[in-house]
Chain A
Amino acid sequence: MCEEERAVILNASDVCKYYGDFCALEGVSFSIKENEFVSIIGPNGAGKTTLINVLTGLFKPSRGKVFFKDRDITGIGPEKLSKLGLARSFQLVNIFPEFTVMEFIKVAIISRQGKGTQFYHLLAHDKEIERQAQEVANLFGLQGKRNVLAKNLPQGDKKLLDIASAFALQPEVILLDEPTSGVSTSDKNKIMETLVSASKKIGIKSIIQVEHDMDIVFSFSDRIIALHQGKILADGTPQEFEKNEEVVCTVMGQKECFKIFSGLGKDEGSS
């Protein structure tokens, strides 16, 4: 009902990306509204990560524009984009291996507070940064591992730390590139629940994630965008997707298709 009242926060307009003759994205257009949790799905090579890279300003699209809060952000680069309020996490674990959990989170907080060029006071004496870093660590359940080196954390926690640092920027929109990839099935739901609750506490307006696990997609998304061969195949609510056997089978393959339409997926998703 309130669908129409929500403001558009991120808008991709006719985005195309070519690598030589290969077309990775073709005429992709969509809008993300405030307070939406959107999942982007698609088989390998569908253009999901390319789309995330275009949205986060890392790649300049061959054609088309990306707008964030009505501002053209096409190809402006991740550093400027993070300052505007759009952050991301990575498909592969992307950490500062020699930093402890607290030191890691502090990098994001220093950056957000614009204190990065302060070289005349000791970081250890900055109580505000310390307090905020502890808050973020607590939100992600990392309080017991504050002084553990990032490289020594278990895989799930590394992933969580990568996401936590992006959250510490307090962005308005966050893009998560396969937040649960490489993580055991038992940890997947935990990670998703943690980041959804953390996003509410931090005040993140919208989450966009690329995800392969359809249980996660159906359980957490308000909306699903299916990519196939660089084009949008379908865009709708999880309920609409569940009815559309043809699209799910094209995008996710026969195995997932069987799981979902034989009812196995639903049982796991609702538990």
Chain B
Amino acid sequence: MRREIPLLITGIVGIVFIVQYFIPHYPFGRMSDWFSDWFSIVASCAILLGALNLMKMSVLKVISRKGDWIYALITIACFALITVIGLAEGRDFRDTGTGFSWLYDYVYSPLSSTMFAILAFFVASASYRAFRARNFEATLLLLAAFFVMLGRVPVGDVLTGFLPESMQMSHLATWIMNIPNTAGQRAIMIGIALGLVSTSVRIILGIERSYLGGE
């Protein structure tokens, strides 16, 4: 029964989700929203499990003074600080001018933006590796990237200004993006969609059950 009941629930919910897509009438039309709400409620309750796990791991690391325990200490301190301030400020903790919003605006947001900004450097290093002309395919990739990058800046059209407008660099870049790139993207997306349908059928029929643990 430990397996059968979850499989039954999964199968029923899966079928209901398919049916509600085609039936707008109440209650089917509302089911997607209801399930989403329920998922949010369950996920919100489960966050406690995650938070407790994080604290447990961090406290154990600090007590044992293992490796980088100082980071664990910072994690505990930050967790405690934001929790205490959030609770102390009550229901309006997100209002402008509260300590919580200050921490959000001046600590969390800049840190998050910093991580996002690092992406630019990683794109540069990954591009350097990907665009090395090691074989025919990589050379094609390099050429396509060269034309697209040049076509996206004004100097591209300046360099090819002597050519008819339809053959200038910006047009070539647009053509590469709209035709070969879109065709490739769509091929991948069709594959993904089919994979999703196949996986969903396996889950609904109970053939795919490894997410429940084991076969």
Is B truly associated with A? no
